């Protein structure tokens, strides 16, 4: 099992989710509004916001836990739609997941995804 954690431009979210819905067997998704900075640092960016001592850019975070077979397709779909070619397009992190517990049914592992 893999967690795919994607940090993307907020205006791309609707199109990304539309594309992800087309993947058969996609089990679920969590989305959050976040802010952060990358290597190129937010202060060099037009859309940065100053908070306290630091500059941040607003982004969206998508988190999906999927079985190993689905992971590559999810990553490729997000990358294809999120790409503009400009600095700040975001990143996709792929994390190995050890276990999942489905609270209602007590299922574990891939059955619980
Ligand atoms: N190494 C990292 N760890 C955690 N979050 C990160 C990391 N790199 C980027 N992010 C998050 O992703 C967002 C977008 O990063 P961004 O695409 O600007 O990265 P970058 O390395 O600066 O690349 P670019 O040169 O394309 O701007 C950041 O605002 C931050 O929220
Ligand atoms: Mg950047």
Any idea which ligand is nearest the CA of 90?
1
> What are the tens digits of pLDDT across the range 27-73?
999 999 999 999 987 666 778 999 999 999 999 999 999 999 999 99
55 lines ligand 1 (CB under 6 A): no
Atom of ligand 1 lying closest to residue 56 CA: 29
Q: What structural domains and CATH numbers belong to the chain? A: 2-112 (3.30.70.120)
The answer to whether 77 touches 91, Cβ cutoff 8 Å, is no
Ligand 1 atom 8, closest CA = 38
| Closest listed residue to residue 59, CA positions, set 2, 95, 1, 16 | 16
**Residue 75, Cα to own-chain centre: how many angstroms?**
9
Contact 20, 110 (CB under 8 A): no
Portion of the chain with pLDDT greater than 90, in percent: 90
Predicted TM-score (pTM) of the model is 0.95
**How many of the other CB atoms lie within 10 Å of CB of 4?**
22
Average pLDDT over residues 67-92: 97
Q: Distance from the CA of 13 to the center of ligand 2, in angstroms? A: 18
- The pLDDT of residue 83 is above 80: yes
3-class SS of residue 63: strand
pLDDT of residue 45: 75
């Amino acid at each position: 099992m893999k967690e795919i954690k994607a940090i993307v431009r907020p205006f791309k979210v609707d199109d990304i989710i539309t594309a992800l819905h087309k993947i058969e067997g996609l089990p679920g998704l969590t989305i959050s509004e976040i802010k952060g900075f990358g290597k190129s640092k937010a202060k060099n960016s037009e859309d940065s916001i100053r908070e306290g001592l630091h500059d941040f850019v607003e982004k969206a975070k998508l988190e999906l836990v999927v079985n190993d077979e689905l992971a590559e397709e999810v990553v490729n779909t997000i990358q294809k739609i999120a790409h503009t070619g400009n600095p700040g397009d975001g990143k996709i992190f792929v994390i190995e997941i050890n276990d999942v517990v489905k609270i209602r049914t007590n299922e574990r592992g891939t059955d619980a995804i």
